[in-house]
Amino acid sequence: MQLCWIHPTPRTTELEALWQALATSMSAIVAPGNRLDFRFLENSGGFTRSLYAEHLNSVLMVEAAIQAQDEDYDGVLLGCWNDPLWEAREMLDIPVASVGEQSLLAALTMGHRFAVVTVAEKTAFAIERDIQAYGLSERAIRQPVRTIRPFSDTNLLKESLTHPESRFLPRFENVARQCIADGAEIILVGCAYYGPLLRRAGHYQITGTAVPIVDASAIAVKYLEAMTGVAQTTSLVKSYANAFAGVPSTAIEGGRDALSLR
């Protein structure tokens, strides 16, 4: 199967080492016979830290997902926790996975209560809104999404490519430890980038505990394989009833025109 990971940003030169690290890390876990390609939103405004900025960027994410389906990919993955998951699912007839939903579902199989540690305040709100919309709050600790401080920035990200232990890990574990005190048995990394970076640096558990650090990106890839496998072997992708009914492309032409998307 051919799978497509959609990055929410352009392929910036500054972070080229990150893009390659992610590609290497993710491709290594794909099952034999499957292929995972990476797409970037070259038109995107880049990293965003606002509900509305995410809303704008989500338009580009859905468009890229539709494009991937048109190019005959068998499944797509929205490569960021802030995502237009249900909008993309409405538009596509192939499986759509996300770093967020798939890792949250997997977390349910690994312990009683989970928490997500993310890297910026606005992202925390977006993820908590998703947890609530997905109906998963009962399995999360209270204040289920918490944020490292100071927030992440490009410098921290670049540094963490080689030395996550310098500044990122201490910030991350500081918050994670509070989550564990409040009942968390599983800590998901609330960022599609830091998860793989921690994992390849060998950080599998919060230091001094038996609580795993979950690389949500890796989980998402493996679960997308399962979803695509279900589709290929049983024809089942989604319900077409009610809100998830398919939409003829003509129904969205006006909206696309208004945003110069055609």
Site for a copy of itself in 153-192 (CB under 8 A): 180, 182-183, 185-186
Q: Site for a copy of itself (CB under 8 A): which residue of 35, 46, 149, 166?
A: 46
Query: Smallest Cα–Cα separation from 72: which of 39, 94, 87, 46?
Result: 94
Q: Site for a copy of itself (CB under 8 A): which residue of 129, 166, 174, 207?
A: 129
Using the rule CB under 8 A, give the single segment among 67-75, 158-166, 169-177, 224-232 that binds a copy of itself.
224-232
Using the rule CB under 8 A, give the single segment among 70-78, 152-160, 161-169, 252-260 that binds a copy of itself.
252-260
Using the rule CB under 8 A, give the single segment among 15-23, 148-156, 161-169, 205-213 that binds a copy of itself.
205-213
The answer to whether 223 touches 245, Cβ cutoff 8 Å, is no
- Within 125-205, strands assigned E span 140-147, 186-190
| Residues that contact a copy of itself, how many (by CB under 8 A) | 105
Closer residue to a copy of itself in complex, CB, 27/167: 27
Q: Site for a copy of itself (CB under 8 A): which residue of 12, 16, 110, 153?
A: 110
What's CA 163's distance to the chain center, in Å? 23
Task: Note whether 150 binds a copy of itself by CB under 8 A.
Answer: no
Task: Note whether 215 binds a copy of itself by CB under 8 A.
Answer: yes
Residue appearing with tokens 């997500």: 116
- Within 96-177, strands assigned E span 96-98, 114-118, 140-147
CB of 127 to a copy of itself, least distance (A): 11
Q: Site for a copy of itself (CB under 8 A): which residue of 51, 149, 153, 207?
A: 51
Interface with a copy of itself in residues 62-101 (CB under 8 A) = 62, 84, 86-91, 95, 97, 101
Sheet containing strand 75-78, edge to edge, reads: 35-39, 2-6, 75-78, 96-98
Q: How far apart are the first and last CA of the chain?
A: 29
Number of H helices, E strands in the chain: 10, 8
Task: Note whether 133 binds a copy of itself by CB under 8 A.
Answer: yes
CA pair distance 9, 61, nearest whole angstrom: 9
Task: Note whether 210 binds a copy of itself by CB under 8 A.
Answer: yes
3-state percent breakdown (helix, strand, coil) of the chain, nearest 5: 50, 15, 35
Region for 208 from its dihedrals, namely left if φ exceeds 0, alpha if ψ lies in -120 to 50, beta otherwise: left
Closer residue to a copy of itself in complex, CB, 19/125: 125
Task: Note whether 124 binds a copy of itself by CB under 8 A.
Answer: yes
